[in-house]
Structure 1
Amino acid sequence: MTTTLAPPPVGIGKAAVGALCLLAIATGALESVLTPTLPLLQRELALSPAQGALLSTALLISGALLLPVSGTLGDRYGGRRVMTRLMIVVLAGGLVSSLAPNLPVLLAGQILQGAMVGALPLSFILVRKHLPPGSAHTAIGVVSGMFVGGNLVGSMIAGPIAEGLSRHWMFAIPTLVIAVGTVLVHRLIPDDPPARSDARIDWPGLVLMSGALLTLMLVLPMVPEAGSRPLEFGALVLLLAGLVIGWIRVERRSAAPMVDLRLLARPGMWSSYAITFAVCLGTAASMYLVPQLFAVPADAYGFGASASDMGLYLLPSAVAAAVSGPIAGFAARRFGARTAVAAGIAGAVATLAALALLHGEVWHLVIGKVLISLASGICVTAVVVKTATTGDGGDTGTATSLILVTRVIGFTAGAQLGGILLTAMTPSGANIPDESAFIIGFGIASAVTALALLAVRTLNRGEEQ
């Protein structure tokens, strides 16, 4: 693969990093406004539960499909150029969602909004190219944290805006902020030359990779129903296997692959993906189990929490997730990514194991959720920082976008694991699962997360500190 030795790009200041942070907050907010207002949308648009579930996953699926593409195109054509065009798609999606009169139009808007997830790997490309290594560590952590903080902002403002103004404005306001952030990024960040000269697009690889990711996102929600729909489930699994095998063969033979498989074979890279998957799976299982335990009636073994109560209980963990990014960036710079990742994994494992034993009081769950969000956030962000600052920068977008795709897959698999466990351990005719389901669930989440420690020792191979 050929690389071009472009002249060093112009450095950027705090205002430019602030513009990237503003864009991260706005996109994070637009991504999260749907979740707390889904019951309202179901009432206003007369949606069935199945249609509501489809609406809640449309952005996630389209984002997962686009992530590897956006990162690779950023490497090939320059981060700022691709980000500007990507944000135009997001702005169109926000506009469509804000004006949507029915489900099909709103679905179209959500699919277009899915392009927003590509902003993170593109931000990492720009930070890597325009800042020295030490500053880049911190800036990547801050931008990642601001995206999570945007999720928190969106979750907090969506309900009041939808009820005080209308559902249209909860999409329109973040979209306007994204427009401002896009203009600032375009004006404050100089154009970055492409890091790679092989500008051809590997269309067969792109089609096969997108098909494999889409099929995987269809397979995971079907796992709980696999026994009742064996033919459909089996057909999708076979299709997924065929697409993955075909994609690997195409990428190995391509002169300019969409994803260079030699990149995935490096010890410092494959370990990043393994750690991300294990930690996100364990974290997502707990993220699913904790609210379910809050909602169990108080006359059983739960707390009978209402939706408002639950939002209050989960708010501290959302704050912890938001601050984990900057902490991880600082820790990776000061102590090295390997140390930060190991500390995050150890904290998550210990907390999940403790929750399996101690979950009889509200404060047990609140503090446990805070510690899990903080530990897993530090771990995953430190992995992203390590991945984004390893090598010569020519594959920054591709490598980090694959990390984010792995995170999506891990979270989806973890949530499905929690759902399967509670369903399987709910007695016939009962409305709530046995308490042992939560004990086993937290225990499994702790064990899966602990497996990530096996890959930590390879993280320093090729790492720039």
Structure 2
Amino acid sequence: MPEAQTQPAGVAGTPRTGAVVPVLAFAGIVVALMQTLVIPLIPELPKLLHASASDATWAITATLLAGAVATPVMGRLGDMYGKRRMLLVSLGLLVAGSVVCGLSDALVPMVIGRTLQGLSSGVIALGISIMRDELPAERLGGATALMSASLGVGGALGLPAAALLAEYADWHVLFWTSAGMGVLATVLVVTFVPESSVRTGGRFDVVGAAGLSAGLVALLLAISKGGDWGWDSGRVEGLFGMATAVLLAWGWWELRHAAPLVDLRVTAGRQVLLTNLASAVFGFAMFAMSLVLPQLLQLPEATGYGLGQSMLAVGLVLGPSGLVMMAFAPLSARISKTRGPKVTLMLGAVVVAAGYALGVVLMSAVWQLVLVSSVIGAGIGLAYGAMPTLIMAAVPVSETAAANSLNTLMRAIGTSISSAMAGVILAQLTTGFGPLTLPSQNGFRVVLGIGAAAALVALAVAAFLPGRRPAPVTPPARPLAAARSGS
């Protein structure tokens, strides 16, 4: 691996550096909003796009696939050519995709726009990496915890806003709002975020990027479309087989390449490997809440367990969980500083498991679901805040963006598997309601129980992490004039 080329880094405490944390957190929230933007539109997408229900789901799937490809690639490019530069490229793709969607009335341009939006998914990992380079050690823990939690914060807070806009305005306004927020985030990054001074240089691993992209697309396409195409269909089995073969070949290539896209020797280290595994399990656990609670809230009261609420009410019920995640991010950093990030991650897992256990028995009133989502949000805020601290303590400074990107990718893979598994369970455990077949209350309880079990698995994985508290990495200082120039 080429040696990192380090020029003097920024001085924390200048006006420019002092704004880095809120600006990067805002950029992360804007990207997370993109993920939940279309949720209120899902039932109407076939009609809005003049497409079949199965074809309309590509507006969701395309974003997932694009994000899986972009996250590790943008991380490596950030390490090589500048994290701020790749952050601006990502935000530019978000704006471009939002504009395309805002002008769309058909499936193909919508899928193109959603793909461009998905390519912005590397923003959070890049933001965490910039914080490592620019902030002093005493501020780094709280800042990275907030940035890591912004994925959940933006998703939870964006749902009520998106539902409100979808209910009372033309649906295109959702995407024009996203474009406007993306432009604002871009201007703020240009104004306040200096370019990171830590770079690896070298050549980009094109073969590694192509191999990882092909393997991930095959894997996630099989997972996300398995329910529609049939899990035992030749198409799905072929995609799983292709994913296995391509990812094995990719691993062989990465281990032999002088400057790999992902340094597998670093990621195979105990701390990084176990943190990534815990991230995948947490991604699985987090999404179970997003699948179950909205359906419980919206099903008719006549079912005996549905609460008959609108999509706007769904957003208002889930919104507090985002505020709780944000509130618990500094607590996560404080616990990590005093007891170590391993303890914080384990505590987060326990709280998430407790939240899901509450959900199994408390699902008959709106206030109960607010309580359940808030408890789960607290656990996620604790756990997500600890993950980047564990990753950054175990990788060289020159690998920060790539390592954080891989960690973010593992969450996305866990989320995709959760969505697919919950879909299968809810399709099997059903009840009749007039001419309709709806998921049964027991089906929802099974999914919530699996969410609790996944959190306990994450607890068990975290228990094997090294117990000592890693020393924070302090970036080198650079002159005040250089910090102000953003060079």
Q: TM-score, normalised by structure 2?
A: 0.87
Q: Which residue of 2 aligns with 1:398?
A: 402
Question: Is 1:112 the equivalent of 2:116?
Answer: yes
Q: Deviations over 1:369-402 (max 9, x none)?
A: 2111221232123112321344431111111111
Tell me the SS of whatever aligns to 2:199: coil
Deviation of 1:304 after TM superposition, in Å, equals 3.6
What SS does the corresponding residue of 2:386 show, helix, strand or coil? helix
Match of 1:464 in 2: 471
Is the Cα–Cα contact under 8 Å of residues 255 and 264 in structure 2 kept in the other structure?
Answer: yes
Does structure 1 retain, via aligned residues, the 8 Å contact 2:341–2:469?
A: no
2:6 aligned residue: 6
Q: Which whole-Å deviations, capped at 9, do the CAs of 1:324-368 have from their partners, x for residues lacking one?
A: 434433433343211211111111122323333443444333312
**1:359 — aligned with what?**
363
**Pick aligned residue for 1:205 from 208, 212, 222:** 208
- Larger mean CA deviation between 391-400 and 175-184 belongs to 175-184
Q: Please say if 1:455 is aligned against 2:458.
A: no
Deviation at 1:140, TM superposition (A): 1.3
Residue 271, structure 1, aligned to residue 271, structure 2:
no
Q: Which deviations, in whole Å up to 9, do the C-alpha atoms of 1:52-83 show, x marking residues without a partner?
A: 31112222221111100011111111211222
CA contact (8 A) 1:268 1:462 kept: no
Q: Residues 342 and 456 of structure 1 are in contact (CA less than 8 Å); yes or no, is this contact kept in structure 2?
A: yes
Pairs within 5 Å for 1:119-130: 119-130=123-134
Output the CA distance in 1 between the equivalents of 2:468 and 2:262: 20
Query: Who is 1:190 aligned against?
Result: 194
Report the Cα distance in structure 2 between the residues aligned to 1:380 and 1:148, rounded to whole angstroms: 9
Cα distance in 2 for residues equivalent to 1:224 and 1:97: 26
Separation in 2, partners of 1:117, 1:326: 24
Which range moved further: 260-269 or 413-422? 413-422
Residues 1:228 and 1:93: Cα distance change in structure 2 (over 3 Å): closer
The CA distance in 2 between the partners of 1:39 and 1:430, in whole Å, is 15
- Change beyond 3 A, Cα 1:20–1:47: same
Letter in 2 for 1:139: A
- Measure how far apart 1:452 and its partner are: 1.6
CA pair 293-35 structure 1, distance change in 2 beyond 3 A = closer
Does structure 2 conserve the Cα–Cα contact (< 8 Å) formed by 1:138 and 1:333? no
Residues 391 and 462 of structure 1 are in contact (CA less than 8 Å); yes or no, is this contact kept in structure 2? no
Correspondence for 1:36: 40
SS in 2 for 1:116: coil
Aligned partner of residue 259 in structure 1, secondary structure: coil
Q: 1:39 to 1:298 in 2, by over 3 A?
A: closer
Q: Does 1:246 align with 2:253?
A: no
Partner of 2:475 in structure 1? none
Distance in 1 of aligned mates of 2:46 and 2:230: 29
Pairing partner for 2:444 from 438, 441, 454: 438
Q: Secondary structure at the match of 1:432?
A: strand
Instruction: Tell me, yes or no, if structure 1 residue 217 matches structure 2 residue 217.
Output: no
Kept after mapping to 2: 8 A contact 1:97/1:171: yes
- Equivalence for 1:171: 175
Distance verdict in 2 for CA 1:351–1:50, change over 3 Å? same
CA RMSD of aligned residues (A): 2.6
**What is the aligned-residue identity percentage?**
25
- What's the CA shift for 1:427? 5.8
In the alignment, residue 312 of structure 1 is paired with which amino acid?
L
Q: CA shift at 1:227, angstroms?
A: 5.8
Q: Distance in 2 between matches of 1:307 and 1:249?
A: 51
* 2:4 aligned counterpart, secondary structure: coil
Inter-partner Cα distance in structure 1 for 2:186 and 2:241: 42
Which residue matches 2:26? 22
What CA distance in whole angstroms lies between the structure 2 residues aligned with 1:157 and 1:295? 17
Shift of 1:236: 1.4
The separation in 2 between residues aligned to 1:116 and 1:192, in whole angstroms, is 19
2:308 counterpart of 1:305: yes
Provide the rounded CA distance (Å) in 2 between the counterparts of 1:168 and 1:297.
28
CA distance in 1, matches of 2:273, 2:200: 22
Paired amino acid for 1:11: V
Over 3 Å counting, the alpha-carbon distance change for 1:446 and 1:368 in structure 2 is: same
Q: How far 1:163 sits from its partner (Å)?
A: 5.3
- Contact 1:3 1:196 (C-alpha < 8 Å) held by counterparts: yes
Q: Which runs of 5+ in 1 are unaligned?
A: none
SS of equivalent to 2:121: helix
Cα shift at 1:208: 0.9
1:155-180, Cα deviation, whole Å (9 max, x unpaired) = 23334445555333322233223223
SS at match of 1:431: strand
Gaps of 5+ in 2: 473-487
Q: What's the offset of the Cα at 1:252?
A: 1.0
Distance 1:83 1:230 in 2: 40
Please report how far the alpha carbon of residue 299 of structure 1 lies from its aligned counterpart in structure 2 after TM superposition. 3.8
> Residue 479 of structure 2 aligns with which residue?
none
What is the distance in 2 between the residues matched to 1:201 and 1:84?
Answer: 19
